[in-house]
Structure 1
Amino acid sequence: MFAANAQAREPVPTQTNTQDEHIRRGGRALSASNWRLKAILLFLLFVLGWGGLTACGEPREAPPSRARPNVVLIVLDTIRADILSAYGYPKPTSPSLSLVASEGILFHQAITTDFWTLPAHASLLTGEYPAVHQATSETNALGEEAMTLAEYLRAAGYKTRAYVSNPWIGSEQGFGQGFDTYIETWKSAPTAHDAYATDSAGIEGAQAWLNEQNERGENFFLFLNLNSAHMPYSPDALTLVEISPAPRSPERTRELRAIKGMWAYLGGEYSLKAEDFEMLQDLYAAEVAMVDGLVGGMVEFMRELNMLDNTLLIITSDHGENLGEHGMVDHLLSMYETTMRVPLIMRLPSSFSAGSESEELVSLVDIVPTVLDICGLAPQYPDIAARSLLSPSRSPHEFVIAENERPLNGVNLMRENFPDFDPASIDHRMKMLRTLQHKLIWYDDGRVEVYDLQSDPGELNDLSVLEPELSSRLLSQLEAWNAAQEDPRPSQPVEISDPETRDQLRALGYID
């Protein structure tokens, strides 16, 4: 059982390129509102002692299981930890995640490795920092030399499949490595950006595949990327009212539903007032609630198939989102907590005590080692598995790192579309070193920012000048970490040529 820094919660071999394989969407099989209601009821049942405990509070006998667990990894794209009711948000945005956490472990200090999709997913799937895997905005791809979680598990006999909704992690960018089938659900979207439709299609396809795997009795690895919470925010009206019944201007709401991300904002394509940020937060929270409903449907489907307790379920995000903090929207160019602190919940009764919480500092690079360890693959990969969150020989992180290379996609877009904007103002590399208490943000032009996260959780008071000794110590730690890293893997820039992928990236405001 996971024990380090955890405490019990009160219950509250070759790449398959399948670019032409699409999931065609029929009617919606799932209702986010219905699943949220069901999740709340199931959570209450658990609190009353009916979800995994006998009336006397003793654990139920676990069903017979295979020697190795299945693995389901769900990435809730663009979801910051503090927007979730599972992490204390006052509105009911995540009853499904709260239920999963009550049956597993919730990590409070999970930190991503970058503020945008491609490098963060590469870290999640390889266990490497961006400086090593080199899947960055300077390359736009994960190189073939990288070893992914899917490749490790497929070599161990797992069937591997993915349903992904974000076009930054397509097979053209190298993310299909190790998957028997890699389905890019955005290619079946009825419009240029209908993320909920593509997420629903992925859930439906995944459920059909799980049915097949359950009948075959084979170990499997399923990877789901759900992109509904990404800007532009377009929740359905019912969910928006459930999350925030406050009256709002219909006209302004329509306008805010249509705005794109950080590049358009920097270019002056639109402006926002304080009340606009409040409305954006409600729209975003409603999108998050809809994604939570989809996850709830998936979890209950697995429960009904009696496969949930023999499945390592991992739910996390690649990065968060700015909602006006530091004058920013979207998630680009920001290494503040709003974008860097992400949810992380794991469930597997044989490994994690139900209702546990951990304040330990963890990173997305910890996922691969932990999965390999739990799946019994430590003998094959001892150096990697030694970094598992469950490894008795592992020492907790003193700090974790995030890093971003030059944002060339944004630089090029701003140069082409906003001639009055100086692209040099954003053309820099960034790194972050974060401890449990402090954060250093480093820019390659020599600037640094330092924050005390305990006394200043909003990161409003830069201590880099006021506390030079602290700044020097953190900077020395970052420099030592940089020097200790292995050489970066050779990489070549990839030109994204698939027209459907380019259309989606354009709709999201990433490219011209």
Structure 2
Amino acid sequence: MTDPTGTRRYNVVLVVLDTVRARQLGLYGRDRDPMPALTEFAEDATVFNSAYTNAPWTVPAHASLFTGTLPSEHGCHGGSLEFDPGGPSLAETLSAQEYRTLALSNNVWISDHFGFDRGFDSFYKEWQLFREAQELGHALKTGDRSRLALLRAFASGNPIENALNGLYGKYWYRRSDFGAKRTTNHLGSVLEDVREPFFAFVNYMEGHAPYQEHPHSRAYLPTDLDDASRYTELSGRSVDYHAGALALGDEEFSMMESLYDGELRYLDARLRHVFDALAAHDLLSETIVAIVGDHGENIGDHGLLAHRFSVHDTLLHVPLVVRHPDSGRGERVSDPVDLVDLHNWLLDASIDGADPTTMPSPGPIVTEYLSTDYAPETTRDDFTFEGSAYDRRYAAARTESHKLVVADDGTERLYAAGDGPDFERDGREITEPGRTEPALVSTLREACPEFDHRLGATDDHRAAVESHLETLGYR
């Protein structure tokens, strides 16, 4: 569309596929493709072969996507969960340019409770029956969980809506999926009435454990398996696994990965409805559509479950597909990009229509895992977390040819690229990096921030967050 000044402005639809790793998709060379609708959509878009996240879990990754800065810069990570960057967020910037801004989130971390509603005209919490109502966890943000505080929280806003939201979140939400069907239908209705130009952000959670069985899952599970519920339950027990209270082998990991494929296939069916809705409302000719993973997942990879305690490329390499109405269609980009690059490009492209192939920026791609404070393993009575193999913070810097991983204990690992984008899986480790590649190591090390040992949540802040997550049934 063209505004009164003659400037071409594009709508922006930004879809985050929470916990979806690139290596799982046919789009990235896998023989088995659980997301064929995304693959088909990508034929008319730009696919980034080497897209990486700036953090291996939700909160800091979304903050980087929304600010175009690293976790050490925007300050939103495990030691400080409040999204309060020093500059404007993506939504705030577009709102100032008179975009209508909308968010549909299925992730309780990406909510007004943590400040992620900044700049959005409407912020819909899809895990609530009444999507825009204040949640009890938000009202209890101070960490005061006394009976009086609970009554005050319950009475804030509409008490009936609060009660129904609590019941819905605890007993109904995620009975059949992680909100994808309801969210997709809601997005379709929102698109019917939204004025242009608009920015719509959507977070889908189907890739997140525990992995449920769907009708689509049967294509990936053994035909003689009558009940997959045992593997659904196991996929949600990463804490037990890390603490040594649960033994898992190749069979269990294989079954969990099959359930993960089933979840992605179900999500893919919902994405097809999104693509159809954009076409039905004649929006594709005026809209930039960006589909990206915020981080990946370990399913037994590197001895880990879920997405904590590592900066392996199973967590960092994410899908990124961008459809621009006027350029980059049918292109593949091999140069590395990250969420910071995507943020910066979206701001440019929304106004001047920058080609998606111009997204990569010079310099190393940096990922930071700055705090383990909210890892549930830290609070287990039967497991000594402090000083364990998991009690580490990491930073990683990469170029197209090499990846350096630095831990807060001073250890370093250097990898050379192989035939694929996963440095640990496809490449090789260089055993004496300081001797064989001193200049390269120096350059990559300079890109990694120094670890600030003052990082860490206060007891009051931890209590408030724990209260919020428990109220929502997240733990």
TM-score band, normalised by shorter chain: 0.7 to 0.9
**Paired AA for residue 446 in structure 2:** A
Q: Which residue of 1 aligns with 2:336?
A: 361
Determine whether 1:130 maps to 2:71. Answer: yes
Q: Distance in 2 between matches of 1:99 and 1:455?
A: 24
Q: Which residue of 1 aligns with 2:125?
A: 184
**Paired AA for residue 213 in structure 2:** P
TM-score scaled to structure 2, two decimals? 0.81
Q: Which residue of 2 aligns with 1:442?
A: 406
Instruction: Using the TM superposition, give the Cα deviation of residue 90 of structure 1 relative to its aligned residue in structure 2, in angstroms.
Output: 1.8
Q: Which residue of 2 aligns with 1:292?
A: 268
Instruction: Using the TM superposition, give the Cα deviation of residue 173 of structure 1 relative to its aligned residue in structure 2, in angstroms.
Output: 0.7
Q: Which residue of 2 aligns with 1:257?
A: 232
Q: Distance in 2 between matches of 1:374 and 1:416?
A: 45
Determine whether 1:506 maps to 2:469. Answer: no
Return closer, same or farther for 1:494/1:171 CA change in 2, 3 Å cut-off: farther
Q: Distance in 2 between matches of 1:427 and 1:155?
A: 42
Instruction: Using the TM superposition, give the Cα deviation of residue 500 of structure 1 relative to its aligned residue in structure 2, in angstroms.
Output: 6.2
Determine whether 1:200 maps to 2:181. Answer: yes
Q: Which of the numbers 320, 323, 335 marks the counterpart of 1:347? A: 323
Q: Which of the numbers 29, 38, 42 marks the counterpart of 1:101? A: 42
CA contact (8 A) 1:80 1:341 kept: yes
Instruction: Using the TM superposition, give the Cα deviation of residue 482 of structure 1 relative to its aligned residue in structure 2, in angstroms.
Output: 4.5
Give the secondary-structure state (helix, strand or coil) at the position aligned to 1:196. coil
Instruction: Spell out, residue by residue over 1:162-184, the C-alpha distance to the aligned partner (whole angstroms, 9 max, x if none).
Output: 01011111111111000011111
Instruction: Using the TM superposition, give the Cα deviation of residue 323 of structure 1 relative to its aligned residue in structure 2, in angstroms.
Output: 1.8
Q: Which residue of 2 aligns with 1:417?
A: 380
Q: Which residue of 1 aligns with 2:444?
A: 478
Instruction: Using the TM superposition, give the Cα deviation of residue 356 of structure 1 relative to its aligned residue in structure 2, in angstroms.
Output: 0.9
Q: Which of the numbers 21, 24, 46 marks the counterpart of 1:80? A: 21
Q: Distance in 2 between matches of 1:503 and 1:286?
A: 29
Return closer, same or farther for 1:209/1:355 CA change in 2, 3 Å cut-off: same
Instruction: Spell out, residue by residue over 1:432-477, the C-alpha distance to the aligned partner (whole angstroms, 9 max, x if none).
Output: 0112222111101011122223168572687353443356444412
**Paired AA for residue 367 in structure 2:** A
Instruction: Spell out, residue by residue over 1:102-142, the C-alpha distance to the aligned partner (whole angstroms, 9 max, x if none).
Output: 11100000010011000001111111111101110001121
Determine whether 1:266 maps to 2:242. Answer: yes
The root-mean-square deviation of aligned C-alpha atoms, in Å, is 2.9
Return closer, same or farther for 1:471/1:140 CA change in 2, 3 Å cut-off: farther
Give the secondary-structure state (helix, strand or coil) at the position aligned to 2:86. coil
Instruction: Using the TM superposition, give the Cα deviation of residue 389 of structure 1 relative to its aligned residue in structure 2, in angstroms.
Output: 5.7
Match runs of 1:244-393 below 5 Å: 244=220, 246-250=222-226, 253-259=228-234, 260-352=236-328, 354-376=329-351
Q: Which residue of 1 aligns with 2:140?
A: none
Return closer, same or farther for 1:396/1:156 CA change in 2, 3 Å cut-off: closer
CA contact (8 A) 1:231 1:261 kept: no
Q: Which residue of 1 aligns with 2:146?
A: none
Q: Which residue of 2 aligns with 1:399?
A: 364
Q: Which 5+ residue runs of structure 2 have no aligned equivalent?
A: 130-168
CA contact (8 A) 1:78 1:320 kept: yes
CA contact (8 A) 2:238 2:305 kept: yes
Instruction: Using the TM superposition, give the Cα deviation of residue 265 of structure 1 relative to its aligned residue in structure 2, in angstroms.
Output: 1.6
Q: Distance in 2 between matches of 1:278 and 1:399?
A: 34
Return closer, same or farther for 1:389/1:400 CA change in 2, 3 Å cut-off: farther
Give the secondary-structure state (helix, strand or coil) at the position aligned to 1:246. coil
CA contact (8 A) 2:418 2:428 kept: no
**Paired AA for residue 197 in structure 2:** N
CA contact (8 A) 1:78 1:321 kept: yes
Determine whether 1:89 maps to 2:30. Answer: yes
Instruction: Using the TM superposition, give the Cα deviation of residue 73 of structure 1 relative to its aligned residue in structure 2, in angstroms.
Output: 0.1
Q: Which of the numbers 389, 395, 417 marks the counterpart of 1:453? A: 417
Determine whether 1:68 maps to 2:9. Answer: yes
Aligned residues: 422
Q: Distance in 2 between matches of 1:297 and 1:103?
A: 17
Q: Which of the numbers 200, 204, 216 marks the counterpart of 1:239? A: 216
Q: Which of the numbers 422, 434, 438 marks the counterpart of 1:468? A: 434
Q: Distance in 2 between matches of 1:232 and 1:330?
A: 10
Instruction: Using the TM superposition, give the Cα deviation of residue 148 of structure 1 relative to its aligned residue in structure 2, in angstroms.
Output: 0.9
Instruction: Spell out, residue by residue over 1:14-46, the C-alpha distance to the aligned partner (whole angstroms, 9 max, x if none).
Output: xxxxxxxxxxxxxxxxxxxxxxxxxxxxxxxxx
Q: Distance in 2 between matches of 1:397 and 1:467?
A: 23
Give the secondary-structure state (helix, strand or coil) at the position aligned to 1:463. strand
Q: Distance in 1 between matches of 2:439 and 2:174?
A: 45
Percent identity reads 27
CA contact (8 A) 2:59 2:76 kept: yes
Q: Distance in 1 between matches of 2:26 and 2:62?
A: 24
Determine whether 1:221 maps to 2:185. Answer: no
CA contact (8 A) 2:221 2:259 kept: no
CA contact (8 A) 1:195 1:228 kept: no
Q: Which moved more, 1:312-321 or 1:397-406?
A: 397-406
Q: Which residue of 1 aligns with 2:94?
A: 153
CA contact (8 A) 2:403 2:423 kept: no
Q: Which moved more, 1:139-148 or 1:495-504?
A: 495-504
Q: Distance in 1 between matches of 2:419 and 2:42?
A: 28
Instruction: Using the TM superposition, give the Cα deviation of residue 505 of structure 1 relative to its aligned residue in structure 2, in angstroms.
Output: 6.5
